[in-house]
Amino acid sequence: MRDMIVFGEDFGGLPSSTQHLVKHLPQMRKIIWVNSIGLRQPKLNSHDCRRAVSKLLGQAKQGFSTPSQLPDNFHVVNLRTIPAPSTAIGRKMAKAMMLKQLLPILKMHNIERPILWSSLPTAADLCGHLNESAVIYYCGDDFSSLAGVDHHVVTEHEEKMAKRANIILGASEKICAKFPRCKTMFLPHGVDIDLFSQPAPKAADFPNNGKPVAGFYGSLSSWLDYELINYVALNLPHWDFVFIGPNEMTHYPLPKLDNIHYLGPKPHHQLPCYSQHWQASLLPFKSNEQIQACNPLKLREYLATGAPVIATPFPALDAYSKHINIVDTAHEMAEALRLAVYESKISADIVASESWSARSQFVRQLINLL
């Protein structure tokens, strides 16, 4: 049995692909999960200042999961650090700060020759200092085009991480193409099939006025096409539109229309209480480099739920193009929604072989080779 150190996002809240993969890994002796060490330097605004202070104090943002819900061999730690330092001195200081805190934790838990798994390129400077037996870099996003990160700084870290990694796992084919072919493998996201395919009760705050409902869950971020959403909602007043997730914008970005309902973030396990009861699932993305490289978790969750999926085009849809309504314009999305009420439900069998357990078994086979 092997030990593992994971550098990921803050544990809890809506679980990331890293959380799904690591929690399903079989036969790991101990896992030390290090909450996010940052992808960009803070800006002079209240949100970033609070976030920077929390990192300097070793605090994580609160989510829907708590350490008390974790297995005995799983430990979550918060490190005081300087988020995504851009200078050589800053990087040395951040590395020294983190090692001073992390090494005693590893000793306390008797962590021996661990696998170092990083989902953040900014952990690159710690490679080689944790007595790790191997390094796995899991790249779930194209950080060079991801909104809200310091692209130059992150690219420097990622180049170093790619050199240090024994194995690189990419969540999309476009991401994989950035790295050396000899050690890079495509690892698409999985899905919790039982959670999303088994019947769930309708949520209390779900619209209940007799209209068909189209829904989306995920961050309200800059990559959503709000002009498209506005057009579709205006042209389909007999439909309701539900949006679930945190607002990552500095303003409220959704159109202020009576048939648009923003319900805020919800725990992951409650999402089927919404998605199983709407008539269409939406992926209304803009076309940019980030979206062209993305492979959203919700795609397979939508398919497992069974409602017709209507999406603007991006490469990750290609494998499911027979089962998804791919539209190029707002007018086409409105027309697809008009027809959606007459469509049959999608069978969850489409993604039956793509469970998180199956994805983690593949990762475990790779670990056995290290």
Show the 3-state SS of the chain: CEEEEEECCCCCCCCCHHHHHHHCCCCEEEEEEECCCCCCCCCCCHHHHHHHHHHHCCCCCCCCCCHHHCCCCEEEECCCCCCCCCCHHHHHHHHHHHHHHHHHHHHHCCCCCCEEEECCHHHHHHCCCCCCCEEEEEECCCCCCCCCCCHHHHHHHHHHHHHHCCEEEECCHHHHCCCCHHHEEECCCCECHHHHHCCCCCCCCCCCCCCCEEEEECCECCCECHHHHHHHHHHCCCCEEEEECCECCCCCCCCCCCCEEEEECCCHHHCHHHHCCCCEEEECECCCHHHHHCCCHHHHHHHHHCCCEEECCCHHHHHHHHHEEECCCHHHHHHHHHHHCCCCCCCHHHHCCCEHHHHHHHHHHHHHCC
Q: Which residue has the higher pLDDT, 270 or 56?
A: 270
Task: Name which residue leads in pLDDT, 72 or 181.
Answer: 181
Sequence-distant contacts of 344-351: CB under 8 A, at least 24 apart: 345/306, 345/307, 346/303, 346/306, 346/307, 346/308, 346/309, 347/306, 348/193, 348/196, 348/197, 348/303, 348/304, 348/305, 348/306, 350/303, 350/320, 350/323, 351/191, 351/193, 351/300, 351/303, 351/304
pLDDT higher than threshold 90 for residue 58: no
Q: Between 225 and 14, where is the model more confident? A: 225
Which structure tokens are listed for 16? 């990331």
CB atoms under 10 Å from CB of 231, counted, come to: 17
The pLDDT tens digits for 72-107 are 889 999 999 998 888 999 999 999 999 999 999 999
- What is the layout of strands, in order, in the sheet containing 115-118? 74-77, 28-34, 2-7, 115-118, 134-139, 167-170, 184-186
pLDDT at 64: 41
Query: Tell me, what's the pLDDT at 66?
Result: 46
Q: Is the pLDDT of residue 128 over 90?
A: yes
Q: Identify the pLDDT of residue 47.
A: 46
Q: Which CATH superfamily is domain 193-351 in?
A: Glycogen Phosphorylase B; (3.40.50.2000)
Domain limits, CATH 3.40.50.2000, in the chain: 2-190+355-368, 193-351
What pLDDT sits at residue 67?
52
User: Is residue 64 packed enough to be buried (19+ CB in 10 Å), middle (13-18) or exposed (0-12)?
Assistant: middle
Residue of 362, 369, 368 whose CA lies nearest to 138: 362
CA distances from 323 to 31, 130, 196, 280, 340 (A): 38, 46, 17, 13, 12
Greater pLDDT, 71 or 115: 115
Does the pLDDT of residue 41 top 80, yes or no?
Answer: no
Name residue 93's amino acid: M
The answer to whether residue 291 scores a pLDDT higher than 50 is yes
325 forms bridges with which residues in the sheet? 310
Tell me the mean pLDDT in the region 195-221: 97
The pLDDT assigned to 26 comes to 77
Confidence band (pLDDT; 50, 70, 90) for 68? Answer: low
pLDDT at residue 147 in the model: 73
Q: Are 158 and 266 in contact (CB under 8 A)?
A: no
Tell me what the mean pLDDT of segment 223-239 comes to: 98
Quote the mean pLDDT of the chain. Answer: 91
pLDDT value at position 59?
52
Architecture label for domain 2-190+355-368: 3-Layer(aba) Sandwich (3.40)
pLDDT tens string 336-349: 999 999 999 999 99
Flag whether pLDDT at 136 surpasses 90.
Answer: yes
- High-pLDDT (> 90) share of the chain, %: 81
pLDDT in tens, 308-332: 999 999 999 999 999 999 999 999 9
Residue 69 confidence (pLDDT):
67
Confidence of residue 192 (pLDDT cuts 50, 70, 90): very high
The pLDDT assigned to 55 comes to 45
pLDDT of residue 298: 97
What pLDDT shows up at residue 295? 93
**Residue 57: which pLDDT band, with cuts at 50, 70 and 90?**
low
